[in-house]
Amino acid sequence: MNKLRGKSIVLLSFVFLYGCAQTNILDKVGLTTLVGYDIGAEEKIATTAVIREVNPEFQSNVEVLTTENDTSKGNRMDANRKLSKKIMVGQMRVILFGEDVAKDNLRYYIDTNLENASVSNGIYMAVVEGKAAPLLKYEYQNIEDIGQHIFRLIEQNVKQEYMISATLHQIAHDYYSIGKDLAMPIIKRDDELVELSGVALFKGGKMVSTLPAKDSFYVKIVRDTFKVGLYETVLEKEDIPSKFLQKPANKITVAFDAIHSNREMELVDIATPEFDLNIKIKSRVLEVFPDINQGDPKSVAGLEKAIEKNLTKEISRVIAHSQEVESDIFGFGEKYRSTVRHSKLTKDKWHEMYKNMKVNVNVDFVILRDGVFE
Amino acid sequence: MKFKLPFNKKQSAPIKEAPKENLVRVAHETDHFIQSIKNATNNPADLIIKTLPPNIALIYIDKLVDDQSLNNDIIANLQNNLYETPESLKVALSISEVNISSLLKETIDTMVNGSVVIHVDGYPQAIVANIASRESRALSAPENESQVIGTQVGFNESLSTNISLIRRYIVNPDLCNEKLKIGSRTNTSVSLLYMHGIANDQMVNTLRQRITDLTIDELLDSAVLAEMIDDNSLSVFPQMLLTERPDRFCDAILDGKVGVIVDGSSMAIVCPQSFTEFFQSQEDQNLRWQIATFVRLLRLTAFFLSVYLTPFYVAALTFHYEVIPQAFLVPLSESRALVPFPPIFEALLLEFIIELLREAGARLPTKIGQTIGIVGGIVIGTAAVQAGITSNILLIIIALSALASFTSPSYMMGNVIRLIRFPIIILAGFWGFYGIMLAFCFILIHLLRQSSLGAPYLSPFYPPRLKEMRDSIIRMPIPLTAKRPALTRPEDNNKFEPEPVKPEKS
């Protein structure tokens, strides 16, 4: 009898507990795929959300809504008042920041999204040149769903390693760790298309400078390892011995894809501080214009030397630029902190040191193959 | 009912005094004898009494005896000669099974079983000659467990035919056959078959005891017996295999299992049986090991798909829209947009329709059954989507899981798969993935607690018997599976001396 009572209590609790679970039935929710933040009037947060709604009448449509409020949850409530469906953020893929927000401080936005359990940590973040709202509200001729489009655009470029990756997880890690600063892709509207136009450098939560999209290769190669990236560089005439050239030219453009890259940082002097940065790249040369004789081992060795020289120069330039604006996006500070005991490093202290840091860039470039047909 | 488990030797059988009617003797006079038989059998219409002057009477039940041998071997013999005593008559009959009985009850029992009773006037004995003829259909292909490659013969309803089939597969004097009688009214013959020297004695004893301890009045099919002698009769999961394939039966017996055949039933019982063995088909032995492994993994996948696919759909659409891949989001929500019900109701409705179709198809004659298939597949499926009561994608999922449930080689297990889906769907609709997990844990714990004839049901996964996984959800080449499964605790562990898989070239 007791056993039966126990079982019936369990069964009965099933019935009552049924009401406790909150349902989010797929066709009753409006799915936010992208959110853009701007600074609105009177220092309020202006949120532009791309929301996909499915209605039986229209197959499905994409709403772009801008609301202004003091908090992002308040913005969600505002948006709810305008839509027939409950707005949920579980399918959000991209967060965009207007330039003014990025230049102000990102701390609040990183925190709120990190604390929200239904926001995935894998969503991409990017900065918009100018404001986010106009980019999202523009009626593109060939882009049906701007939220999905931007997500695929960033994802594709990150997977191909053309652009640095900035997911919420990575951003939060960089933001809260001492000795590393944020870097995010920049996007802008280019007529009827959306374009990844550069890399934003941050100092703490503030955007301080930008690098052109071309330089994201150097940022990436110093930040982490490389597996598939394709890159094109221009070798100046003085870098390359003229005897290899089949006909005289002012410059040579080389396209290569790095099959594998490996970087090592070594702290050689604590006081200055001074780092050795050793980068090993194994690569495949795809195109050389104008042509040089690649059958000759000597000319290949020469080409390697020339590319090494070129890369060293470019990487040094990028690092120097980041030092100028005190944004350590490469994580030299982390290396410093993990090497030097009791350094009691703080963000401010490191930014001071970073300005005067010396880096000896050392590139080891190996051409494994040159073209498939030879 | 739950039976006390095994190996308890202190079972004192209560000694019963034989009832008095069992001791009534056969009468001297033929007239008295006939009258007492008529009284005992309630004077049935098919009781035939034939007197052969001067002193002999034949009593038998029509159609239970073989007419030809009755005429040629008995009547012809008795008409031409004169016999004074039952002994001389017994010697003269050219029939293999002839006995002399002096007890009335015994005589009647054998007569009901198909014997001719011969009484010589003036003697208190009766001669019973067994010339039983049983109606049974011819051997045919096993309909419920058909195979592409393998023998195409199945058991039929005759116990003696079935045993002779097995004896033809296992030509060995070690094949033991014990005959038991069950059912106080039906007196059904049940045969217990096992290999002496392989099968574990304790298991045989346990099974024998479980069968003899049964006090029931009727036993019409082996499925009923299997349910009653299961370790846990209340579980949905069958713990003993029902098979109609003699090759599968023999394979199990040679592994050290014990088989039970019930007269009048075309399904034989095999035990102990583990959970994974329900997903094995005898055909796996006939295929190359790579293909057999693939097919077994396919069936296991089908099991999980069948049980969890619909609940996953319900849970994802009701609670966890986050997990739906982005590419799938738009088609899914578009196909759901017209449906007015919540996903749980939609799924239950469609599962209900599929079950209706299956049940209707199983009950109807074959010709009409095909029509039901068309009606169900095309008309209801398409119409339901167009009418907007289900989504396309759910229709695919439900059809897929129904299809997957039929890949189970055991029909009994297929039924279980179809049944346990419903509570999981409901739990998924209540609490999403938490509900599915709850159901999963419940089923897993339940399975872990089961045993089959005292052997662990989830073997070889729990308890982990790594070497036996070679022949569980995968099948390794025959030299690697030379050991009998420990599930049966066989007396002889090795099937044969294993040779190396790749013999070295000499």
Which segments of A46-106 does DSSP mark as H helices, in order? 72-80, 99-104
In a domain, residue B124? The reply is: yes
pLDDT at position B105, please? 86
Searching chain A, which residue's CA lies closest to the CA of residue B342?
A: A25
| Domain extent for B445 | 288-449
In whole angstroms, how large is the CA radius of gyration of chain A?
26
Per the CB < 8 A criterion, the answer to whether B172 and B160 are in contact is no
Q: The pTM is what? A: 0.85
B57/B111 same-domain check: yes
Residues B449-453, mean pLDDT to the nearest whole number: 93
pLDDT at position A367, please? 85
- A–B: how many Cβ contacts below 8 A? 66
In a domain, residue B476? The reply is: no
Searching chain A, which residue's CA lies closest to the CA of residue B325?
A: A91
B222/B247 same-domain check: yes
Q: Which tokens belong to A135? A: 């980019």
Inter-chain touch A60–B333, beta carbons under 8 Å: yes
Q: Which tokens belong to B41? A: 């059998």
Inter-chain touch B339–A52, beta carbons under 8 Å: no
Q: What are phi and psi of B87, to 5 degrees?
A: -65, -45
pLDDT digits (tens, 9 = 90+) for A322-359: 999 989 999 899 889 888 888 888 888 888 889 889 99
B233/B195 same-domain check: yes
Which one of B319, B321, B434 would you mutate to disrupt binding with A, by most A Cβ within 10 Å of its Cβ?
B321
pLDDT at position B273, please? 93
In this structure, of A97-101, A249-253, A299-303, B97-101, the range with the lowest mean pLDDT score is A249-253
In a domain, residue B80? The reply is: yes
Give percent helix, percent strand, percent coil of chain A, each to the nearest 5: 35, 35, 30
B408/B350 same-domain check: yes
Q: Which residue, of B130, B146, B176, is where some domain finishes? A: B130
Q: Per-residue confidence at B168, pLDDT binned at 50, 70, 90?
A: very high
In a domain, residue B147? The reply is: no
B110/B212 same-domain check: no
pLDDT digits (tens, 9 = 90+) for B47-79: 888 888 778 888 999 888 888 888 888 888 888
- Compute how many other C-beta atoms are within 10 angstroms of the C-beta atom of residue B454: 17
B412/B374 same-domain check: yes
Give A187 to chain B, closest Cα distance, Å. Answer: 22
Contacts of B332 in chain A (CB under 8 A): 26
Stated as kind and residue range, the H or E segment containing B229 is helix B222-229
Whether pLDDT at B93 is above 90: no
Whether pLDDT at A48 is above 50: yes
pLDDT digits (tens, 9 = 90+) for B250-298: 999 999 999 999 999 999 999 999 999 999 999 999 999 999 999 999 9
pLDDT at position B18, please? 58
How many domains does one find in chain B?
Answer: 3
pLDDT digits (tens, 9 = 90+) for A63-82: 888 888 888 888 888 888 88
pLDDT at position B20, please? 66
In a domain, residue B36? The reply is: yes
Q: What is the DSSP letter of B329?
A: H
Residues A8-28, mean pLDDT to the nearest whole number: 83
Residues B175-179, mean pLDDT to the nearest whole number: 94
- The closest CB to that of B334, out of A17, A25, A59, belongs to A59
B303/B445 same-domain check: yes
**Predicted complex ipTM:** 0.82
In a domain, residue B150? The reply is: no
Extended beta strands in chain A, E state: 29-39, 45-53, 61-69, 86-88, 94-97, 124-128, 183-190, 193-203, 206-212, 230-236, 251-269, 274-289, 358-370
- The closest CB to that of B318, out of A23, A93, A120, belongs to A23
B93/B231 same-domain check: no
B96/B175 same-domain check: no
- The closest CB to that of B334, out of A21, A25, A54, belongs to A54
In a domain, residue B188? The reply is: yes
Q: Per-residue confidence at B8, pLDDT binned at 50, 70, 90?
A: very low
Contacts of A27 in chain B (CB under 8 A): 333, 336-337, 339
User: In Å, how far are B38, B63, B128 from B66, measured between CA atoms?
Assistant: 22, 7, 14
Q: Which residue, of B403, B419, B449, is where some domain finishes? A: B449
**B166 torsion bin: left (phi>0), alpha (psi -120 to 50), beta (else):** alpha
In this structure, of A196-200, A252-256, A266-270, the range with the lowest mean pLDDT score is A252-256
Contacts of B326 in chain A (CB under 8 A): 33, 91, 93, 148, 151
B356/B262 same-domain check: no
Task: List beta partners, residue A365.
Answer: A281
Percent of chain B with pLDDT over 90: 47
Class of domain A225-370 (CATH, top level): alpha beta
Average model confidence (pLDDT) for chain B?
Answer: 88
Whether pLDDT at B501 is above 70: no
Inter-chain touch B318–A25, beta carbons under 8 Å: yes
Extended beta strands in B2-96, E state: 47-52, 56-61
Per the CB < 8 A criterion, the answer to whether A164 and A220 are in contact is yes
Whether pLDDT at A57 is above 70: no
Contacts of B430 in chain A (CB under 8 A): 14, 17-18, 21
In a domain, residue B67? The reply is: yes
Q: Which tokens belong to B215? A: 């006090």
Per the CB < 8 A criterion, the answer to whether A292 and A309 are in contact is no
Residues B447-459, mean pLDDT to the nearest whole number: 93
Stated as kind and residue range, the H or E segment containing A149 is helix A146-159
Q: Which residue, of B275, B304, B338, is where some domain finishes? A: B275
B264/B344 same-domain check: no
Q: Per-residue confidence at A162, pLDDT binned at 50, 70, 90?
A: confident
B184/B91 same-domain check: no
